[in-house]
């Protein structure tokens, strides 16, 4: 009898657990892709086209980098009518999570690409070039991304892909793109492996994780730091960033007092005793916010007031929740800045809001630029091929593009596909979790990709 | 005659009270002895090593001495953490000869309950107005209640039906329970305003107490202990006293000891064995819950997986002290805490930065533990038995 009762209790507990698990995904927000209101969209596109046309005239005087849109227009003007007629359908694909808990960012990427294609089509209206858009949902899962990639390469009209949000997904899909010589431009992947794995077709418009360390060291030097105490969390990410920070800091003449790893998550007293004895100007922490929060709190409680710097693992409102007031004097480096940080993206931000009824999320401006570079490469290749280009020709054109300025910065691509220069941002933190988006930009450092 | 009988009765009474006091307070003395002892031994080792190393670099000696008092305090706070969790392991082992691997999770639940209480108080605007002692009492009582009842429920659901099966079976069940509890708490936490990494709000306890200040070069290194750590230590000592009193001087304690010695015979003497085992889990769980609240308060954050590592180390501490022995659990915790703090703070200094102390602290501390256990397999205070888990 008792056994039966406890069996029933156990089954009941398991059932409720399952039920609770089942209900979580449904509860998580699925950002509905905003459906465009056609009338307003056209109006905006026309307005933009006019604006761009004007811009083209004024910009000719300055020898500074051409904007991508100007480049596309100028190149398309050189196309023969026969070539334009032979183009047929050309598509640009996007891959990003459109469902699941990362869909807010993923939808932003899709929308950014859509906006870029739409605006370019309007601008190119007379030339006979029209590009179609094929969005894919990678669900932030490597296997889904890879399956989509097989679909994408089997469509001969797709000549360029913009994606992904997650480096893991991009790395799973890259072999398929690479076999088909299909260009992939990533608006968000910061993992060094994207361009370091020997894929000739991988490009990105954002910086690399492995430069966050050196950038942090340069920031430390700029802010007058003489001695630094380096901690890391013994993970690939944390220790990697911390080691690069250390190398650069030593090169810049900053004294490294210690380099310690710890997987302690809660009680940092032993480490803090050593820090107190060493009395550094700055503590660099290579790791993530769940560890950094209590570490900071306990450090400030003990009266350790050194500056605190970390990589983008600290970039989360959770950090503000965990550390609260202890965040004073805390900075983090990141490759992703909100759209408001790009002076040239103001027009984009308004266009985005009109078309999609919401503020442009991070990485969507980069997606817009990625799509623009795609178009530039396609148009260049089309002119050279005097008709519909092959993927190989698009790839070759991509590699030969001059330095062009998009809305997030001026880029040319290194041999490996990294942007040159990439911009890195240093933010100072805000102790109110609700205001995390308004963290103040402390410094902006441009850096060329590593050549080795 | 009557008067004489009365006198001898009084004498007997007094003797008994004295004996009770002795059994209750003796462990505290033992504990203090071990604290002072391990601090002195480890401190001496540090000074000797620093002396030999300082021939090449005189700065090592200075730094080593300057941080020594602070390291001892760190070690003591850490030790009391392991000690309070180890009490729960040792209680259950003493009675059932069974290692309750879900105890680390019971500890974590206590921390979460404390964080929840603090969160609610803050929402009601009471946190800053409430006297700190009231806050601590409320949080600890709530944590003890929930954790104690949870431990009791765990025993009822996952261990009692398996009591007569081979020893490994309840052990596996305990590991399963530990995983279940982690994820149930994660589920509850992430769907509540606390979130996965929950902040443990506290009233303002003020600045750490500055005990001394040691000059190092042109600077002074403070020796300090935070008010939260003091509360932790005081509460842990009170817990030890209360537990000792309960086990050694009450009828319930007598029943627990009887069940621990021989379940069948105890049952023949009219002790309800199931009830006593339930109560043992309740007490052990409540102690774990209190430790969770105090720990969460001390470090400022709690998360659903925070119980695993301290639980494992507390189990080690219980074995080191002699599992089944209450004072032994405390002593084992203290020794382990000291070892970790010393290794973490000095390894890097003594190896010239070649080995990061914080990352090798566990390895070094556990190597020393293995050594101690090779020479004293029954643990520091344990009696030698042939029983094995």
d(CA B131, CA B125): 13
pLDDT confidence of residue A154: 94
| pLDDT tens column, A74-102 | 888 888 888 887 888 899 999 999 988 78
φ, ψ for residue B325, nearest 5 deg: -105, 120
- The CA distance from A228 to the nearest CA of chain B, in Å, is 14
3-state secondary structure B254-298: HHHHHHHHCHHHHHHCCCCHHHHHHHHHHHHHHHHHHHHHHHHHH
d(CA A166, CA A140): 6
Out of B64-78, B147-161, B195-209, pick the least confident.
B195-209
Quick one: average pLDDT of B272-281?
94
| pLDDT tens column, B314-352 | 988 988 888 888 888 889 999 999 998 998 888 888 887
User: Taking all residues of chain A, what is their mean pLDDT, rounded to a whole number?
Assistant: 82
Q: Are B155 and B96 in contact (CB under 8 A)?
A: no
Chain A residue closest to B345 (CA)? Answer: A270
| pLDDT tens column, A28-65 | 333 333 333 333 334 444 444 444 444 433 333 344 67
- The CA distance from A278 to the nearest CA of chain B, in Å, is 9
Determine whether the interchain pair B299/A266 forms a contact, defined as Cβ–Cβ distance below 8 Å. yes
Q: Does A10 touch chain B (CB under 8 A)?
A: yes
Mutate to test the interface with B, among A262, A270, A301, A316 (most CBs of B within 10 A): A270
Q: Please report, for chain B, the start and end positions of each structural domain, with discontinuous segments joined by +.
A: 98-204+228-241+281-306, 314-389
Chain A residue numbers touching B347 (CB-CB < 8 A): none
CATH 3.40.50.2300 location in chain A:
68-207+339-420, 210-334+442-447
d(CA B22, CA B30): 12
Q: Are A241 and A311 in contact (CB under 8 A)?
A: yes
Q: Does B359 touch chain A (CB under 8 A)?
A: yes
Q: Give the three-state DSSP class for A304.
A: coil
Determine whether the interchain pair A271/B344 forms a contact, defined as Cβ–Cβ distance below 8 Å. yes
Residues 262-321 of A with CB under 8 A from B: 262-267, 269-271, 273-274, 276-277, 279, 289-290, 293-294, 297-298, 301-303, 318, 321
Two tokens at B258? 């009887």
Q: Are A114 and A64 in contact (CB under 8 A)?
A: no
More confident residue, B125 or A185: A185
Chain B residue closest to A262 (CA)? Answer: B359
Determine whether the interchain pair A273/B70 forms a contact, defined as Cβ–Cβ distance below 8 Å. yes
Q: Are A161 and A185 in contact (CB under 8 A)?
A: yes
Two tokens at B44? 């001496």
Alpha carbon distance, N-terminus to C-terminus of chain B: 56
Determine whether the interchain pair A270/B71 forms a contact, defined as Cβ–Cβ distance below 8 Å. yes
Q: Are A228 and A199 in contact (CB under 8 A)?
A: no
Q: Does A258 touch chain B (CB under 8 A)?
A: yes
Q: Choose which CATH entry (3.30.565.10, 3.40.190.10, 3.40.50.2300, 3.40.50.80) describes domain A68-207+339-420.
A: 3.40.50.2300
pLDDT confidence of residue A10: 60
Chain B residue numbers touching A234 (CB-CB < 8 A): 359
The separation between CA B12 and the C-alpha centre of its own chain, rounded to angstroms, equals 36
- Closest partner CB to B224 (pick from A264, A274, A302): A302
Chain A residue numbers touching B224 (CB-CB < 8 A): 302-303
Residues 123-152 of B with CB under 8 A from A: none
What is the crossing angle of helices B58-96 and B227-249, to 10°?
30
Residues 120-159 of A with CB under 8 A from B: none
Interstrand relation of A66-67 and A90-96 (parallel, antiparallel or unpaired): unpaired
ipTM: 0.84
Q: Does B300 touch chain A (CB under 8 A)?
A: yes
d(CA A176, CA A158): 13
| pLDDT tens column, A402-439 | 888 889 888 889 888 898 888 888 888 888 877 787 78
Chain B residue numbers touching A302 (CB-CB < 8 A): 208, 224, 226
- Residue A324 zone, left/alpha/beta (φ > 0; ψ -120 to 50; rest): left
Residues 40-69 of B with CB under 8 A from A: 63, 66-67
User: Taking all residues of chain B, what is their mean pLDDT, rounded to a whole number?
Assistant: 87
The separation between CA B53 and the C-alpha centre of its own chain, rounded to angstroms, equals 35
Does this model's pTM top 0.95? My answer is: no
Q: What topology is assigned to A210-334+442-447 in CATH?
A: Rossmann fold (3.40.50)
- Closest partner CB to B78 (pick from A263, A267, A271): A267
pLDDT confidence of residue A35: 35
d(CA B369, CA B362): 10
Interstrand relation of B209-216 and A422-428 (parallel, antiparallel or unpaired): unpaired
Q: Does B78 touch chain A (CB under 8 A)?
A: yes
d(CA A211, CA A188): 15
- Residue-level length of chain A: 452
Chain A residue closest to B300 (CA)? Answer: A294
> What is the strand order of the sheet A404-405 is part of?
A66-67, A404-405, A410-413, A419-420
């Amino acid at each position: 009898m008792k056994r039966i009762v406890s069996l029933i209790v156990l089954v009941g507990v398991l059932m409720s657990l399952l039920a609770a698990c089942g209900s979580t995904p449904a509860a998580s927000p699925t950002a509905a892709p905003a459906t465009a209101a056609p009338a307003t969209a056209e109006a905006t596109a026309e307005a933009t086209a006019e604006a761009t046309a004007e811009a083209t005239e004024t910009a000719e005087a300055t020898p500074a980098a051409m904007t991508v849109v100007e480049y596309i227009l100028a190149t398309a003007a050189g196309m023969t009518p026969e070539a334009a007629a032979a183009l047929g359908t050309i598509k640009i694909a996007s891959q990003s999570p459109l469902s699941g808990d990362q869909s807010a960012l993923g939808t932003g990427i899709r929308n950014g690409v859509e906006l870029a294609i739409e605006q370019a089509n309007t601008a190119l209206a007379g030339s006979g070039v029209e590009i179609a858009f094929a969005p894919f949902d990678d669900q932030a899962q490597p296997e889904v991304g890879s399956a989509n990639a097989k679909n994408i390469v089997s469509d001969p009209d797709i000549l360029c892909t913009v994606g992904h949000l997650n480096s893991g997904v991009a790395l799973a899909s890259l072999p398929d793109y690479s076999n088909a010589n299909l260009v992939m431009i990533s608006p968000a992947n910061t993992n060094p492996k994207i361009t370091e794995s020997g894929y000739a077709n991988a490009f990105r418009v954002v910086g690399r994780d492995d430069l966050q360390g050196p950038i942090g060291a340069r920031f430390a030097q700029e802010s007058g730091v003489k001695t630094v105490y380096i901690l890391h969390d013994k993970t690939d990410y944390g220790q990697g960033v911390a080691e690069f920070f250390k190398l650069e800091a030593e090169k810049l003449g900053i004294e490294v007092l210690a380099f310690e790893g710890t997987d302690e998550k809660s009680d940092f007293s032993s480490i803090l005793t050593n820090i107190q004895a060493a009395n550094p100007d700055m503590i660099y922490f290579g790791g993530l916010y769940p560890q950094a929060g209590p570490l900071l709190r306990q450090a400030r409680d003990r009266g350790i007031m050194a500056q605190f710097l970390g990589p983008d693992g600290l970039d989360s409102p959770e950090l503000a929740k965990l550390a609260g007031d202890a965040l004073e004097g805390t900075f983090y480096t990141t490759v992703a800045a909100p759209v408001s940080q790009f002076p040239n993206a103001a027009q984009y931000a308004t266009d985005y809001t009109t078309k999609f009824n919401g503020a442009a999320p991070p990485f969507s401006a980069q997606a817009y630029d990625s799509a623009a570079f795609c178009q530039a490469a396609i148009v260049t290749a089309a002119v050279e091929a005097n008709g519909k280009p092959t993927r190989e020709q698009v790839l070759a054109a991509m590699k030969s593009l001059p330095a062009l300025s998009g809305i997030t910065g001026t880029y040319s691509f290194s041999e490996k596909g990294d942007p040159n220069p990439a911009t890195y941002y240093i933010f100072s933190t805000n102790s109110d979790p609700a205001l995390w988006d308004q963290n103040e930009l402390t410094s902006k450092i441009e850096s060329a990709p590593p050549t080795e | 005659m009557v008067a004489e009988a009365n006198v001898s009765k009084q004498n007997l009474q007094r003797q008994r009270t004295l004996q009770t006091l002795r059994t209750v307070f003796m462990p505290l003395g033992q504990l203090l002895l071990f604290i002072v002892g391990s601090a002195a031994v480890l401190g001496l080792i540090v000074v000797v090593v620093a002396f030999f190393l300082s021939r090449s670099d005189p700065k090592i000696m200075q730094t080593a001495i300057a941080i020594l008092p602070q390291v001892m305090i760190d070690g003591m706070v850490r030790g009391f953490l392991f000690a309070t969790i180890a009490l729960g392991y040792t209680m259950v082992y003493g009675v059932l000869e069974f290692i309750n691997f879900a105890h680390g999770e019971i500890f974590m639940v206590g921390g979460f309950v404390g964080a929840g209480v603090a969160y609610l108080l803050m929402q009601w605007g009471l946190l800053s107005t409430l006297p700190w002692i009231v806050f601590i009492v409320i949080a600890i009582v709530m944590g003890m209640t929930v954790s104690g009842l949870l431990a009791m429920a765990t025993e009822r659901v996952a261990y009692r039906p398996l009591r007569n099966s081979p020893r490994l079976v309840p052990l596996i069940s305990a590991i399963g329970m530990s995983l279940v509890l982690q994820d149930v708490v994660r589920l509850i936490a992430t769907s509540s305003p606390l979130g996965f990494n929950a902040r443990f709000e506290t009233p303002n306890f003020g600045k750490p107490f500055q005990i001394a200040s040691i000059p190092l070069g042109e600077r002074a290194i403070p020796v300090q202990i935070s008010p939260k750590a003091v509360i932790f230590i005081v509460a842990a000592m009170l817990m030890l006293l209360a537990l000792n009193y309960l086990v050694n001087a009450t009828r319930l304690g007598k029943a627990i000891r009887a069940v621990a010695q021989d379940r069948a015979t105890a049952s023949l003497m009219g002790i309800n064995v199931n009830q006593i085992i339930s109560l043992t889990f309740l007490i052990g769980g409540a102690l774990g819950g209190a430790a969770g609240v105090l720990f969460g308060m001390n470090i400022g954050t709690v998360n659903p997986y925070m119980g695993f590592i301290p639980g494992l180390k507390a189990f080690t501490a219980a074995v080191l002290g002699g599992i089944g022995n209450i004072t032994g659990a405390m002593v084992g915790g203290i020794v382990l805490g000291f070892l970790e703090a010393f290794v973490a703070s000095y390894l890097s200094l003594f190896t010239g930065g070649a080995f990061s102390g914080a990352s090798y602290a566990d390895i070094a501390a556990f190597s020393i533990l293995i050594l101690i256990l090779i020479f004293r397999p029954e643990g520091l205070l344990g009696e030698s038995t042939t029983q094995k888990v």
